[in-house]
Structure 1
Amino acid sequence: MDWVRGLRNAALAAPLLVLAACQSTPESRLYTLAVVPPAGTAQPARSAPQMLALGSLDLPMLIDRPQIVRRIDGNRVETLEFDRWAEPLADGLRSTLAGDLSARLPGTTVLPTAGSSVADGTAVVAVTVLRFDADATGRVVLDAQWSLSPGAGGRKSGPTRETVEVPSAGTGPDAQVRAMSQAVGTLADRIATGMRR
């Protein structure tokens, strides 16, 4: 009799197990940064190098992950588990910054990576990102340092710190990624201006 009761309980539990197995998790949404055109018409600069390579590009471990990160307050962040980068953030940031710099420095060939060695006369810009996230209101903050090694015979510039704040059109991940792309474009504006000095 006990085995009949056990069989009956198993028969009743089977549909519940099937329903539980059929539940699906939400699909991940994948995002990439986008190149943002300069505000005005970019003019060639006499002082800009003919070749520019992006050297080291360092990210804090806090944001160097597949999930998009949002700052909740001064001491807390959240990772958006189903809103992810389509590629490693460092790679996406590198290619986007290279595209943004290329749009702002006509006449300069911008290489997204310096490689192990660069040709004579190629300037190298190194970037260290200190913060790159959005707060609870959607405002994106990009805090970075950059320095320029101008190539053959030039003097290396000391690090220049840039803090870019971009208000977002909303608090969702779509608006956050658009604002992050805008922040990278603004950083490229400032690097290009610094290179022309």
Structure 2
Amino acid sequence: MTALRTAFHGMRRAALAGLLLALAACQTPNDRLYTLAVLPGTGAAGVTPATLALGSVALPPLVDRPQIVRRIDANRVEALEFDRWAEPLADGLRATLAGDLAARLPGRSVLPVAGAAPGAGVAVLSVTILKFEAEANGRVVLDAQWALGSGPRRRDTLEVQAANGEPAALVAAMSQAVALLADRVVAAR
């Protein structure tokens, strides 16, 4: 009985060790992690509320994944397995857009989340990203519908050309596209 118990414990330890080795093999030490960057703003702001809060920010499922997605042609995309977002893209986009807006609205509060019941004097910005794609040739397209408070729904399609189609250049161009969207929002009257 003791020999059987010892053998069982030995097999259990071996199975556990094998499982740990398998999990370690799944890790990818070559992953490169990226974030969108807040960029300085230019121009005068047309937005007048003392506080601006981001309401909903929706992303298309095609790009809302851990990997950076690059469009190859009209019918194909590739998920860059070793080039990943350091945080969920929706969260990074929200934080970057809030940072870009704050950089363009000095002296005003910009809240990354509106909350359930924003108070008086708070304008809520809702954004629906229809397309946020990086192409293999370096072209980045950000197509967004947005509304500020009860104002009209607007649509902007912004294009930025990256230096090349490599992930670092594409992410930098994506940051520029988000900054351009922030420019459009603060210029709204």
Q: TM class, shorter-chain normalised?
A: 0.7 to 0.9
Residue 129 of structure 1 deviates from its aligned partner by 0.2
Pairwise mapping of residues 57-96 of structure 1 onto structure 2 (< 5 A)?
A: 57-96=57-96
| Distance in structure 2 (CA, Å) of the matches to 1:66 and 1:180 | 16
Query: Who is 2:98 aligned against?
Result: 98
Query: Who is 2:132 aligned against?
Result: 132
Q: Give the TM-score, by structure 2 length.
A: 0.82
Residue 170 of structure 1 deviates from its aligned partner by 1.1
Task: List runs of 5+ in structure 2 lacking aligned partners.
Answer: 1-23
Cα 1:170–1:44 change in 2 (3 A) is: closer
Can you list the C-alpha shifts for 1:16-37, whole angstroms capped at 9, x where unaligned?
Answer: xxxxx99x95511100000011
Give the conservation status (yes or no) of the 8 Å contact 1:58–1:127: yes
Give the conservation status (yes or no) of the 8 Å contact 2:44–2:187: no
Query: Who is 2:31 aligned against?
Result: 28
Cα 1:25–1:52 change in 2 (3 A) is: closer
RMSD: 1.9
Give the conservation status (yes or no) of the 8 Å contact 2:36–2:172: yes
Cα 1:44–1:134 change in 2 (3 A) is: closer
Query: Who is 1:189 aligned against?
Result: 183
Query: Who is 1:161 aligned against?
Result: 155
Deviating runs (4+, > 6 A) in structure 1?
none
Cα 1:160–1:44 change in 2 (3 A) is: closer
| Distance in structure 2 (CA, Å) of the matches to 1:113 and 1:68 | 25
Paired residue type of 2:62: L
Task: List runs of 5+ in structure 1 lacking aligned partners.
Answer: 1-20, 150-155
Query: Who is 1:145 aligned against?
Result: 145
Residue 158 of structure 1 deviates from its aligned partner by 2.2
Can you list the C-alpha shifts for 1:144-190, whole angstroms capped at 9, x where unaligned?
Answer: 000011xxxxxx11210000100001110000000000000000001
| SS of residue in 2 equivalent to 1:79 | strand
| Distance in structure 2 (CA, Å) of the matches to 1:27 and 1:119 | 46
| Distance in structure 1 (CA, Å) of the matches to 2:183 and 2:101 | 7
Can you list the C-alpha shifts for 1:98-149, whole angstroms capped at 9, x where unaligned?
Answer: 0101111223210001112212221000000001111120110000000011
Give the conservation status (yes or no) of the 8 Å contact 2:45–2:186: no
The structure having more radius of gyration, on CA atoms, is 1
Residue 93 of structure 1 deviates from its aligned partner by 0.4
The share of aligned pairs that are identical, in percent, is 62
Residue 74 of structure 1 deviates from its aligned partner by 1.1
Can you list the C-alpha shifts for 1:53-97, whole angstroms capped at 9, x where unaligned?
Answer: 000000011111000011111111110011000001011000100
Query: Who is 1:107 aligned against?
Result: 107
Q: Give the TM-score, by structure 1 length.
A: 0.79
| SS of residue in 2 equivalent to 1:131 | strand
Alignment: residue pair count: 166
